[in-house]
Every structure is written in structure tokens, then in C-alpha cells.
Amino acid sequence: MARTLIINGTVVSPTGRQLIDVLIDGETVVAMYAPGQVEAQGVTADTVIDALGKYVIPGGIDVHTHMELPFGGTNASDTFETGSRAAAWGGVTTIVDFAVQRYGENVIDSLGEWHAKAAGECAIDYAFHQIVGGIDDEALKAMRYLTENEGVTSFKLFMAYPGVFYSDDGQILRAMQTAGDIGATIMMHAENGIAIDVLVGQAIARGETDPKYHSYTRPSLLEGEATHRAIILSQVAGNAPLYIVHVSASDALLEIAAARDAGRNVFAETCPQYLYMTLEETLAKPGFEGAKWVCSPPVRSAHDTHHHHADLWKGLRTNDIAIVSTDHCPFCMKDQKELGLGNFSKIPNGMGGVEHRMELLYQGVVNGELTLERWVETCCTTPARMFGMYPKKGIIAPGADADIVIWDPATQTRIGINDKHHMNIDHSSWEGYVIDGKVETVLSRGTVVIADDAYVGRKGHGQFVRRGLSQYLV
């Protein structure tokens, strides 16, 4: 097996940073050495990577992506091949995507379909959550089967999208009772979709059809309300593990913080768009351009009663928000977002971001919002522990997979369609952002996949990761 030595770098973990040399044998980290010990012990390797002045961090883990998701009459424009490659460009070495079961479909069959889409396609490792769009006796049995046999231990439900993915409160309660029984995690899209659909219908009837009305018809109050309801239902289900996906608003964060203060098994993630973007600068652009930023929950206004950005950054520091994911779900403007010309409710929901999460959150370190260690924790280590992949993933330590990013803090990254852009979309939601720092080298299970500004990996290198239960439960 080939041995690789990464020397002179500063290894960063959630608990600190340290000058340390890392020895990889094959796919695994096998040893770590204090400065000078490599020479003293005569350690040799086939390849030596000098990381002087660089950070050496665990590969990023994005636990919320939707490659090829069928939505609104089209499919998300990144395949597992293109999307996982773009992820590698962004310093991500594991994605957790969502298999989708709709009402009337068989859960286990739907997981098989997603395995077929991803197998042999990925540049980096991948795992699955299961979306359950139709909770019934059979689906509950399938949840148990997937958790015990298939390495799929988390189940996403929707309080939004009536008629598509929606579960009512009774279905949610039953799923939570089952999850509580088997130790699985319920992931919740918490927006009150029934009320939102009323507001959407009324807006369209008034002729309010531009993209910005997507945000106005999904007020943060209805995200807060649904978050509260999900938390109470999980309490009624005996403190069933609950993970609120893509928190966009202070209203929801307040509910999560209260539940966590009360000691409940409630966890949350946010996404870069909710930390950086405002309605005014995105959805409200003139004409149809705002369609690029239509996602749910929506990007919030800078003029709300709450300061959503500041509150979400604070939530990340206090651990009320444990993880940053992307909800990567790209759609091109041409032929895809354009389905909603003249009616914002027909715009496919989602934006591309899997390539930029590590960069955008590192900017949070530079801006004084997060420590370097917290950056690694929220983007690499906690995702692994929350979704049962630690210590194989999420940490640089002997025995762990050699998923490693070498990060250059002294360079900048320009994001944009003619700059850094490897996702399969005809625009960038992050056009014009200039970020301090840069993904320099990426190793996936010991194999270099990004180096010298080139992708040197291969389709099919990525393997399916069977996950265990959340490691944050007592």
C-alpha cells in the first residue's frame, strides 16, 4: 500500500490546533508525529506533501445534498458524478444525500433507486438519509429495517409541500415514536406548508408573481411555528431525536435554543445562504433574476424584526446550531428555473452550494464569527458524529479514513461562473464573492483527488458509507 506523509502542517481539530505530521498508509491515517519525530524515527513514505504554513483539516462532510432530485417537473442539475466532483473541489470528502420515497411508493425500493443512481459515479464517499413522504405501517417497518440493516439511520419528513412530500402531525408523531424506539433521527423540514399554500394562492391571485414573493409568502413566523410543533411532537414521542434542517430564521432558532436548554434531543443545521444572503440582494433583483435564489425556507429580509444573520452566527457559536450543510439542490436558469416565469410558485426550489461551504464558513473565521476549531467542528466533525460516521470520518487520527484537506490561508478564492465554479449549473448563486483562503489539496481515503488546481480523482472512487446512530444521544 502506498504511504503518504503530510509534513509541517498545522492539524486542526475541534479541540485545538497543533504542528503535527500525518502518516497515511493506503486509505487510512496510521500515525501522527510531533515535529522532528519523522526524522528521528526514520519514517519514510512514497509521497511527501509539504504543508508548511497550511492548515491540515479533516475532509468536509456535507450532510444535506440533493443530487438529481426530481422536483417541480425537472431534476436537480448535478448528477452524483458532477456534484460529487464539485464537492471535492470544495474540500468535501463525504456527502449525505437523500433517497426519496413519495406517498404510495415503497421505501426500500426507493433507497435501491438512489443506490443505483450513485453507485460507481462518485468522486468521494457518500451516504444516504431516507425521505419518507408517506408514513404508514409499511413505511414505519421500513424505517426499522433501514436502520438495522442498511446503514441508513436518519429519516427526513416535511411539514411543507402538501401533496408532494408533506406529512401531517399524526404521521409525524408515528414516525417519531418509531425513531425514538430504534434510536434513529428524524430530520424535519419545518415550515407550515398548509398556511404557506394559502398565502401563495392569494399572492398569485393579486398578480404578485415575481420571485421575491416566494420569500414574502413563507414568513419566518411559519418556520418558527413549525419548528415549535416539531419539537413538541418529539417530546410527546418520548424525546425522539429531532434534527431541524436548514434553519433560516431567528424565530426557529429561538425554539431550538429553548428546547436544548430544556435538555431535549433537538439539534439543528443552517446553510451558508442563510448566514450571508438577504432577500433584498437576491430574490428582489429586477425581472426574473431573483429566481436563482429561490429555495425553501427562503432567504430572509435584512429589514425583519429579527437580525437573522447575526442570530444564526451566534447560534453556531453556542452550539444551538451544530452543523452547516448546503441543501445543495441546483437548477439552471434555462429550462429549469424558467418554469416559473410569470409564477414564482412554479420555480424549482433550490440552489447550488456544495462546492463553497468550506470556503464561505472559513470566511466566518476570518470575519471573527467563528474560531478555526469551530469551523472544523461544524463542517467536518459534528456532521460525522451526528450521523454515525465518527471516528472513521470527521477527524484526523490514527485509524480514521485519510479524508484530508490542506487549506491555504494565505491565498484567496474568487467564486463565479468564470472563476471557481465546478457545479453543473449555468450560474453561480455566489457570483462575485471573494473569499480568504483556498482549498489546496484534497485526499479522499488516501487518494489525492484535488491538487495544483486540478481534479485528479476518478468517478467511482467514492464508496457508500454505512452509518450508525447519532453519537449525541445519552
Binding site residues, Zn ion, CB under 5 A: 327
What letter does residue 59 receive in the DSSP assignment?
P
Q: Which is nearer to Zn ion, 297 or 437 (CB)?
A: 297
Q: Which is nearer to Zn ion, 95 or 396 (CB)?
A: 95
Q: Which is nearer to Zn ion, 327 or 403 (CB)?
A: 327
Min separation Cβ 327 and Zn ion, Å = 5
253 vs 375: CA distance, rounded Å: 19
Min separation Cβ 66 and Zn ion, Å = 6
CA dihedral 359, 361, 365, 368 (to 10 degrees): 130
Q: Which is nearer to Zn ion, 191 or 327 (CB)?
A: 327
- Residue pair 419/103 in contact by the 8 Å Cβ criterion: no
Q: Which is nearer to Zn ion, 155 or 288 (CB)?
A: 155
Min separation Cβ 11 and Zn ion, Å = 32
Q: Which is nearer to Zn ion, 97 or 377 (CB)?
A: 97
Task: Output the CA angle 276-97-298, nearest 5 degrees.
Answer: 30
What letter does residue 418 receive in the DSSP assignment?
T
Q: Which is nearer to Zn ion, 350 or 457 (CB)?
A: 350
Is 126 exposed, middle or buried, given 0-12, 13-18 or 19+ CB atoms closer than 10 A?
buried
Name the nearest CA neighbour of 324 among 367, 284, 282, 356: 356
Min separation Cβ 4 and Zn ion, Å = 35
Min separation Cβ 468 and Zn ion, Å = 22
Instruction: Give the Å distances, CA to CA, from 298 to 196, 248, 257, 313.
Output: 12, 7, 21, 17
Min separation Cβ 68 and Zn ion, Å = 13
- Residue pair 273/281 in contact by the 8 Å Cβ criterion: no
CB burial string 245-259: b at 16+ within 10 A, e below: bbbbbbbbbbbbbeb
Q: Which is nearer to Zn ion, 96 or 176 (CB)?
A: 96
CA dihedral 424, 363, 441, 7 (to 10 degrees): -170
Min separation Cβ 420 and Zn ion, Å = 24
Min separation Cβ 36 and Zn ion, Å = 47
Look-up of cell digits 433583483: 285
